[in-house]
């Protein structure tokens, strides 16, 4: 991982975070060589920003609460042609990003990861059920060939910005896929491993309340 964010022909990995100081070191250490890590601190009360800087990541603060707000702040701050997004909780392997990057460089407009749990408990059933329902509705209504709501994704920065402001909370990945369908993008889905987070509590699947909040945002976007 390098410290500059000015290599326009490179890849910036946007990592939206809120209170992920425990998981971030391992996530940042696994960023592929030559990729640029950009952590968006979304109102953390722990040492997320300090830990990220110590690991050599560029840090951007986004005061507006919400996953979508953090992701969009990271995309705006990136200065490379390609932008990747993944969570900072350790549940996804940054080492699998090059496969998605390859798809975009080969002609896809958006490459997304389909989570495949590696062990029991990686993905609570209530969160998986909600995801499956939304993905099914998305395929039927918009014809997007995906089975997951784009937890890990890669696209060109200019293309992402062309969609305009999207949902500022959990509905962001869904609205991104809807926007991609409307714009006629070629969307490619590839399997990625999904494991239990390495620290903290998930804002979505870690509780019924979190899962219901995310599902509510999804349905508000999809209606």
| pLDDT at res. 3 | 45
CATH code for the structural domain at 11-222: 3.90.550.10
Rounded to the nearest 10 degrees, how much is the dihedral formed by the CA atoms of 135, 138, 139, 142?
-160
Record the tokens describing residue 132, joined without a space. 């499956």
Task: Say which range, 46-55, 139-148, 166-175, 191-200, has the weakest mean pLDDT.
Answer: 191-200
Q: At residue 70, does pLDDT exceed 50?
A: yes
| pLDDT at res. 217 | 73
Q: At residue 83, does pLDDT exceed 70?
A: yes
| pLDDT at res. 2 | 45
**In this structure, are residues 89 and 152 in contact, taking their beta carbons and an 8 Å threshold?**
no
pLDDT band at 181 (very low <50, low <70, confident <90, very high): very high
- Residue 161, CA distances (Å) to 52, 61, 71, 196, 203 in order: 25, 19, 12, 31, 26
The Cα 93–Cα 68 span in angstroms is 21
Average pLDDT, the chain: 89
Q: At residue 5, does pLDDT exceed 80?
A: no
Q: What is the pLDDT of residues 89-146, one digit of tens each?
A: 999 999 999 999 999 999 999 999 999 988 776 667 667 777 888 889 899 999 999 9
- ∠ Cα 130 131 135 (to 5°): 120
């Amino acid at each position: 991982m390098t410290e500059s964010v000015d290599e326009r022909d490179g890849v910036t990995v946007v990592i939206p975070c809120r209170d992920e100081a425990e998981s971030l070191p391992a996530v940042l250490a696994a960023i592929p060589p030559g990729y640029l890590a950009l952590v968006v601190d979304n109102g953390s009360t722990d040492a997320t920003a300090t830990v990220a800087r110590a690991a050599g990541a560029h840090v951007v603060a986004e005061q507006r609460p919400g996953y979508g707000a953090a992701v969009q702040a990271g995309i705006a701050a990136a200065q490379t042609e390609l932008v990747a997004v993944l969570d900072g909780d350790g549940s996804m392997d940054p080492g699998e990003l090059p496969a998605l990057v390859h798809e975009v460089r080969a002609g896809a407009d958006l490459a997304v990861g389909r989570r495949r749990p590696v062990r029991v408990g990686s993905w609570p059933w209530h969160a998986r059920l909600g995801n499956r329902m939304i993905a099914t509705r998305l395929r039927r209504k918009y014809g997007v060939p995906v089975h997951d709501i784009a937890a890990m994704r890669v696209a060109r920065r200019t293309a992402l910005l062309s969609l305009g402001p999207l949902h500022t909370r959990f509905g962001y990945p869904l609205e991104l896929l809807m926007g991609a369908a409307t714009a006629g993008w070629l969307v490619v889905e590839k399997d990625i491993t999904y494991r239990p987070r390495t620290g903290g509590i998930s804002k979505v699947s870690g509780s019924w309340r979190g899962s219901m909040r995310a599902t509510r945002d999804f349905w508000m976007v999809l209606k």
